[in-house]
Amino acid sequence: MSATAALDVHPDRLLPADPSLRSVARRLYDSVKDLSIISPHGHVPPQWIAEDIPFRDPTSLLITPDHYVNRMLHANGASLADLGVGRGPLSDEDARAAFRILCTNWSAFRGTPVRYWFEDELGPIFGVTERPSAANADAIYDQIAAKIATPEFRPRALMDAFDIAVMATTDDPCDDLSAHEQLAQDSSFTRRVVPTFRPDKYLDAALATWNTDVDRLGEVSGIETGDYAGYIAALEDRRRYFVAHGAVSADHGVIDAGTDILSTEEATRIFAAARSGSVTDDEATALRRHMISEMARMSCEDGLVMTIHPGVRRNHHIPTFETYGADVGCDIPIAVEYTDALRPLLNAYGTHPNLHLVLFTIDETVYSREIAPLAGFYPSVYVGVPWWFIDAPEAIQRFRAAVTETAGFARTSGFIDDTRAFCSIPARHDMSRRLDAGYIAKLVVEHRLPEDEAFEAITDLVANNPRKVFKL
Amino acid sequence: MSATAALDVHPDRLLPADPSLRSVARRLYDSVKDLSIISPHGHVPPQWIAEDIPFRDPTSLLITPDHYVNRMLHANGASLADLGVGRGPLSDEDARAAFRILCTNWSAFRGTPVRYWFEDELGPIFGVTERPSAANADAIYDQIAAKIATPEFRPRALMDAFDIAVMATTDDPCDDLSAHEQLAQDSSFTRRVVPTFRPDKYLDAALATWNTDVDRLGEVSGIETGDYAGYIAALEDRRRYFVAHGAVSADHGVIDAGTDILSTEEATRIFAAARSGSVTDDEATALRRHMISEMARMSCEDGLVMTIHPGVRRNHHIPTFETYGADVGCDIPIAVEYTDALRPLLNAYGTHPNLHLVLFTIDETVYSREIAPLAGFYPSVYVGVPWWFIDAPEAIQRFRAAVTETAGFARTSGFIDDTRAFCSIPARHDMSRRLDAGYIAKLVVEHRLPEDEAFEAITDLVANNPRKVFKL
Amino acid sequence: MSATAALDVHPDRLLPADPSLRSVARRLYDSVKDLSIISPHGHVPPQWIAEDIPFRDPTSLLITPDHYVNRMLHANGASLADLGVGRGPLSDEDARAAFRILCTNWSAFRGTPVRYWFEDELGPIFGVTERPSAANADAIYDQIAAKIATPEFRPRALMDAFDIAVMATTDDPCDDLSAHEQLAQDSSFTRRVVPTFRPDKYLDAALATWNTDVDRLGEVSGIETGDYAGYIAALEDRRRYFVAHGAVSADHGVIDAGTDILSTEEATRIFAAARSGSVTDDEATALRRHMISEMARMSCEDGLVMTIHPGVRRNHHIPTFETYGADVGCDIPIAVEYTDALRPLLNAYGTHPNLHLVLFTIDETVYSREIAPLAGFYPSVYVGVPWWFIDAPEAIQRFRAAVTETAGFARTSGFIDDTRAFCSIPARHDMSRRLDAGYIAKLVVEHRLPEDEAFEAITDLVANNPRKVFKL
């Protein structure tokens, strides 16, 4: 690989190879490529926008906080420490060294969406024209550093440049949402940033931190959480607080999709055992599953859309977790079951008009077998688009092929970027639009969908489905 | 979507986009498109044919009894009651209203096989030229209503028009098969309608109705079913009755594929416990699995082909079941295991020359992992084609790609429409022929199969495999 | 099918149909098609090479020992005995009869890789120009028989003709490796044949033969295997012996991927129970899983690459096993779990610089869900290419699409032929090269990978990855 190779960001990238497909796909893509970005689930810190904080350096912007990048470099021999993970602000020297690791390992990312997103950032956003390599790593670092020092690269300016109309953050139920408040009261800020209620750690009594967290829930809500009734009331209170601050959804990261409902007596008993530190693992699991159904019940009342992201074994490599903490690239998916697991919740609330339940998976086997059939019957259920490891071109095409025939386009969520990598947001949404255009073009060319409806379908996926599904 | 958009039923629909593939696929398709339909498994009531009953109205023909349609409309906001489900004959006003719901939601079916089949019925069969919409719903309703009032649209005339050479129905073991008898004795009827032995409810002692059903089995067979030996004898008797009335297969809808064989003593003991109402769930499961192996043993003796359709959680939404009954669209698939589950049956009977065992699945993961390897060793095992949710273009192509490399074409069952939607039968078989032509065309163009053999292969799939596998 | 149809072995076989894809794929393939074959895992007996034994007849070369062929002929009605299975050397008459069974059933292999490989052997290697059929079976038999009687068809000459640079055999830990020794000391032999340490039967105390085998392990190593410490020491000794004789890897065929680590006390206790014949099934399983982690520990010390092939129910049809023995075509895959199963091993050794752990699967569902994410974090983990039933064109393309986006090309193993069918080795490697060229061509034409990097990527897959992963 030559050090001076050009960075190729082709206008037809990701469109199908066949000329007849490409031609239709290009027209479909052109019809939606300039539509505003709607990002109903993601992990950008709201403070970045509220305070319009300049990005510090290319490494802390593009590498250190992004576990998609870290994990691949780690697999190919880098230490997480050398990438800045778990270290706080890096010296210029160390930041440059980390950036060189990335550029030197450019070929390890061949065929991955991480490289695709990077190139779509480096070229169109940062004006990089050479393919990264060991030889030009410093020059590219300098070029990006110079850009992010300018006002045009502050978060709010980028949000305008990226045309992000709506962006959801992910927030702790005890968060005071002051950043969101600040944005709401700032009349100069015309975009929409909404919080998301993410109560995982308050619902899992098996966690060592649970008792402390439930205490804090009581303090923040002003509702005593010493017993189950108070705990429920406090959660309801915080959800109302989030709704009042613009939240449209609650997100649930769970190891399984279980939703078995306990009697109030049994829930009260287990809650008390958990508060006194004597809960068993099975009881904690039972309470957690019950609480997912409780969240659905509350959604029927307060209208928060409910998203579920199950099936990831977090911190698979414990020595890495102990050294670097969570979210550093060693979370590994497992198989997940939805049909039986969700049955209690869906029998109780699945036809309630207020409930929107968006089901995500990394276990692709459930798309055609479980999620699409559920979304093809329950008016509350929507198929979440591919997430995390499978937010990638081939996987997204497999997803559309797996769910559309059973659930149609109307029962899918629209794209979710799910990222804390702010500058990758346009690339991720654009990738999704290109791939959906390709899928729909195939339907047109194979005479499975008239072309006029194809244009409606792609617009629905980009603009209408996310607004409808997330009540925006 | 314009209300006056044309209904596009293109001659090349579903054929591959690539011109070289399409050209070969078209020739392969042309070679089989006019072959008679062989439908060895389906759900059309035999009385329709025996008595040549005219269809009542477009809604009761196309919507109300078809759970493929109902579930999607329900997911998109319609009530099942408004579609006529569970209500008996609809007034003209209500039938029209239901039809309007379908037409108004036409876009919700984009990219689904349900829409594909509908369009292939509306255009070629009913002469509809406009795409359904809220605006033309009544006109299309009138057009179909006028057609089905004519003699050419009576079931027997359609069976001729569709060129259905053989059609299997699905029948209760206690059915007297009088409709089949009537057809057999009618020399003016030259097509073949055969019953299928479907004993599910007689084999599952966990069902509340089981004891009553086993009583009736005794009455109908004239063999006392008070003990296990009589129960077996009565089932054998009814199978003989079905064989004598033309049956070629027995069908088994089961939650899992288990076939563990009990000793006669243990089976006798559990049967007695079940008859006295004291059976446990585990015992009932053990008896059910044992009885599947017993069905295989009987097939070795009487020659009935055995088809297994496992892995669907029936009536997932219990409130819907309680209001509307079964088969209304809320059955949801689950994962299924075949390798270990079928081992007892296959060790006992898997190499018996009389046994044909056709394995269906909705869980696509088992095609390459379990079913194709089983069919690639056991001379009794055939791979059933995609069924229900996965009887759809992309899924059928995945199926061929998943099983052909391990089991070849020869070990697959040929197409099964599995439908009670009579007018969709030609569309379903035609879809299958087009898709198989596309798959085989790819083998030709990629020089993996000589073209002369490709024509043999597609003819086998359409005409020879179903006759061989179902002993027709 | 005409008896005189030509055998078509087209230069563009397996390349994509689309002209733009095919053009790029052809250039990529051309760049690697003549590179030496590296075969780091297979089952050719080393004696064949060491003693340069002439092949006996076409049937014993191409049919009898190849369970890929036998199973398909058995499924289509042949008896294994008629194919020579379990019978020792066949008479000329019987060998010809078996060959006729193959040729007569040629159409049953349509669309399978077995037929593809056969044709790639029959044409390019044996000069057959007609498609096999009942009519020309004897003539083709004669043609092959005449060829293998010549010096050019002795194993060493073929190894040169096939340009096999490195070939690994699979060997019992107690084997003296005399064939490898003989080759090493033969200066006229310039190719590399290395043994592979395959200890399965020594690690599974549930096997009836285990105690005898562990006794022999003690005898061969000269280390007393009466207690656990001696057993471990004896295994370490034999691994060192293999390393000294050129081994680069140890292979593990296991029913599951479990690796739970026992305390030394518990391992010692279970080992003692097993030696005294009083081990329970659960204890034997616990010891087996522990020993897989012990193998990883030893690999960290002696550097042997560790390959794992889990998830096959061996000898599914017990009557066949009892008549014909193992490896005759009735092994059937089952679902496998890797994420949790491998966690103990990976937590202990997953970041050790000496460990290379190559994970194979027949259960395709784990590629995107488990194996690629593991290989995308752990520097020790590599994704093994498709194996056995899924070493086939469509499956290999699914594999690349499933793993590349999460793990990149760099974390995959390179091709493994895993065969005892010596003459199929070039066809298998060539098939892999063609398919990888097709996959990479798609990335190029869809502007997902620059063309100069595509040439590097295909060279890596063919030449560099296997050398790096297997430390060759």
Give yes or no for B381 touching C (CB within 8 A): yes
Encoded tokens for C48 = 């064949």
**DSSP letters along B120-174, please?**
HHHTTTT---B---TTTHHHHHHHHHHHHTSGGGSHHHHHHHTTEEEEE--B-TT
- B170 class by beta-carbon count within 10 Å (0-12 exposed, 13-18 middle, 19+ buried): buried
Q: Return the closest-CA partner of residue B238 out of B270, B202, B264, B268.
A: B202
Domains of chain A: 54-153 (1.10.2020.10), 196-438+455-469 (3.20.20.140)
**With an 8 Å Cβ cutoff, are C448 and A116 in contact?**
yes
Which SS3 state, helix, strand or coil, does residue A166 take? strand
Task: For residues C269-275, give the mean pLDDT.
Answer: 98
Select from B340, B447, B457 the Cβ nearest to the Cβ of C334. B340
> Which chains does chain B touch, 3 or more C-beta pairs < 8 A?
A, C
What is the C-alpha radius of gyration for chain A, rounded to an integer number of angstroms?
23
Query: Could you tell me if A235 and A200 are in contact, meaning their C-beta atoms sit under 8 angstroms apart?
Result: no
Residue C199 is predicted with a pLDDT of: 98
Which helix (H) or strand (E) covers residue C21, if one does? helix C19-32
Percent of chain C with pLDDT over 70: 99
Q: How far apart are CA C139 and CA C193, in angstroms?
A: 35
**pLDDT tens for each residue of B106-151:** 999 999 999 999 999 999 999 999 999 999 999 999 999 999 999 9
Rg (CA), chain C: 23
Give pLDDT, residue A1: 43
Residues 281-340 of C with CB under 8 A from A: 337, 339-340
Query: N- to C-terminal Cα distance for chain B?
Result: 46
C-alpha neighbours within 13 Å on the C-beta side of residue B144: 29
Q: Are C448 and A12 a contacting pair at CB < 8 A?
A: no
Query: Which residues of chain A lie closer than 8 angstroms to C340, CB-CB?
Result: 313, 334
Q: How close is the nearest chain B Cα to the Cα of C334, in Å? A: 6
Contact yes or no for C341/C256 (Cβ under 8 A)? yes
In this complex, which chains have at least 3 CB pairs below 8 Å with chain C?
A, B
Alpha-carbon distance B117 to B430, whole Å?
10
Say whether pLDDT at C1 is over 50.
no
| Tens digit of each residue's pLDDT (9 = 90 or more) over B382-399 | 999 999 999 999 999 999
Please write the tens of the pLDDT for every residue from C367-417.
999 999 999 999 999 999 999 999 999 999 999 999 999 999 999 999 999
3-state secondary structure of C430: helix
Instruction: Kindly tell me the burial class for residue A171, based on how many C-beta atoms sit within 10 Å of its own C-beta (0-12, 13-18, 19 or more).
Output: buried
Q: B201-226 pLDDT, tens per residue? A: 999 999 999 999 999 999 999 999 99
Answer yes or no: do B406 and C15 touch at CB < 8 A. no
CB pairs A-C closer than 8 Å: 146
Q: Does B68 touch chain A (CB under 8 A)?
A: no
Q: How far apart are CA B315 and CA A339, in angstroms?
A: 11
Out of A337, A405, A453, whose CB is closest to B393?
Answer: A405
The shortest CB-CB distance from C334 to any of B339, B440, B452 is to B339
Bridge-based pairing state of the strands A249-254 and A381-383: unpaired
pLDDT, residue B1, reads 43
Mean pLDDT to the nearest integer, B350-362: 98
| Rounded Cα gap, residues A138 and A144, in angstroms | 10
Residues of B (329-348) whose Cβ lies below 8 Å from C: 337, 339-340, 343, 346-347
Question: Residue A318 in contact with residue B315, Cβ under 8 Å?
Answer: no
Verify whether the Cβ–Cβ distance A377 to B316 is below 8 Å: yes
DSSP string covering B269-317: HHHHHHHTT---HHHHHHHHHHHHHHHHHHHHHH--EEEEEE-EETTSS
Maximum distance among all Cα pairs of chain C, rounded to whole angstroms: 70
CB contact under 8 A, A394 and C407: no
pLDDT band at A4 (very low <50, low <70, confident <90, very high): confident
> Which chains are within 8 Å of A by 3+ CB pairs?
B, C
Whether chain A has a CB inside 8 Å of the CB on B19: the answer is yes
Task: Supply C68's token pair.
Answer: 């890929």
Distance CA A382, CA A366 (A): 14
Which of the four pLDDT bands, split at 50, 70 and 90, describes residue C4?
A: confident
Q: Using the structure block, give the residue that is written with the tokens 């990701």.
A: A14
Residue A135 is predicted with a pLDDT of 96
Test C335 with B369 for CB contact under 8 angstroms: yes
Contacts of C349 in chain A (CB under 8 A): none
Half-sphere exposure of A388 (CA within 13 A, CB side): 24
Q: Using an 8 Å Cβ cutoff, are A167 and A159 in contact?
A: yes
The angle at the Cα of A321, spanning A320 to A325, to the nearest 5 degrees, equals: 120
User: Is it the case that residue B235 has pLDDT exceeding 50?
Assistant: yes
% helix, strand, coil for chain B, step of 5: 50, 10, 40
pLDDT of amino acid B4 = 76
Selecting from C10, C112, C331 the residue whose C-beta is nearest the C-beta of B408 gives C112
pLDDT at A433 over 90: yes
How far is Cα of residue C409 from the mean position of the Cα atoms in its chain?
20
Given a cut of 80, is residue A327 above it in pLDDT?
A: yes
Alpha-carbon span C303 to C323, nearest angstrom: 40
Residue A220: band (very low, low, confident or very high) from pLDDT cuts 50, 70, 90: very high
Is B18 in CB contact (< 8 Å) with chain A? Answer: yes
Which pairs with CB-CB distance under 8 Å and at least 24 residues apart come from B225-234? Answer: B226/B275, B227/B268, B227/B271, B227/B272, B227/B275, B228/B264, B228/B267, B228/B268, B228/B271, B228/B272, B229/B268, B231/B271, B232/B294
Q: Give per-residue burial for C176-194: e unless 16+ CB within 10 Å, then b.
A: ebebbebbbeeeebebbbb
- The pLDDT tens digits for B282-301 are 999 999 999 999 999 999 99
Evaluated on CA atoms A301, A307, A308, A312, the torsion sign reads negative
CB contact under 8 A, A409 and B111: yes
Give the pairing type, strands C357-359 and C332-333. Answer: unpaired
Shortest CA gap C110–chain A (Å): 26
